[in-house]
Amino acid sequence: MIGVLLLVSWNVASCNVQPVRLQQPTDTLRLYAVGDINLGRRLAKERLMEGDTLYSFLALRDSLAAADITFGNLESPIAPDPTAAPDSGGIFAAPPAAAAALARAGFDVVSTANNHAWDGGSDALEETMRQLTRAGVRFVGSGFGRDMAEQPVILERRGWRVAFFALTRAWNPAPYTFHSHAGSRYIAWGDTGRIYPAIREVKAKGRADLVVVSMHGGTEYVDTPPKHMQDLARGAVDAGADLVLAHHPHVLQPVVWYRHKPIV
């Protein structure tokens, strides 16, 4: 599965660039984003394991190639022969070739903070991060420890510095189990007491011209986000986020402008 393609462009007039920046970026930046990506199941067996790393994104290849930065939410851990964690509720697992598929399609950064991050347990999650790194695809929202998972990934393109944060409010088997779950040591949760100050710090120190926050959560197949996700998104903008990318429902939900910033 792959979510709807979002195309966003910025120029300097549409962003409040930090005053500590000596030279403002002048080029247009094209950021493309897709929603949930699952490179497991039949796709893994029938295509990726046979070496066809282009198949998954063939229909979008030309569109994705036009981006300066391409982002997606990776819902399938990447590891050779992973086994389902006892409490994962299932497994979306992709072979190592999936990392090459993402790189070949032009993905620069993916979120690994979602309810399927733990499908293969800690070993598969750690291997996912290694495979993505080998393929040259940055990941955000997971790490070898919670502190790393909550750190932003900053990319530089066309003179712009773009900071990505990623978090989840969905977890298998249930969100309320997250804080007592072993995965809480590896995955960034939607903890407002941690994410909002982190966004403010990036802005205050002038580390990025744009801040993008990826949020995973809500209710599947419902076309309106729940209030707690709306509040989380608006709070991220209040803290300094320039774009919020939300995913998990697998259906289109509204694009909302809040304080002149898009929540998608």
The answer to whether residue 102 scores a pLDDT higher than 60 is yes
Contact between residue 92 and residue 76 where contact means Cβ atoms under 8 Å apart: yes
What is the share, in percent, of the chain residues with pLDDT greater than 70?
88
Q: Which one has a higher pLDDT value, 112 or 21? A: 112
pLDDT for the residue 93: 86
pLDDT for residue 213 is more than 70 = yes
Does residue 199 register a pLDDT over 70? yes
Mean pLDDT (whole number) for 18-27: 64
pLDDT confidence band for 12 (50 / 70 / 90): very low
Q: pTM for this one?
A: 0.91
- Give me the pLDDT at residue 90, please: 67
Average pLDDT over residues 135-147: 97
Please name each of the domains of the chain with its CATH number: 6-263 (3.60.21.10)
Model confidence over 234-255: pLDDT tens digits? 999 999 999 999 999 999 999 9
- pLDDT of 2 reads 46
Residues contacting 250, CB < 8 A, separation 6+: 1, 3, 35, 36, 220, 221
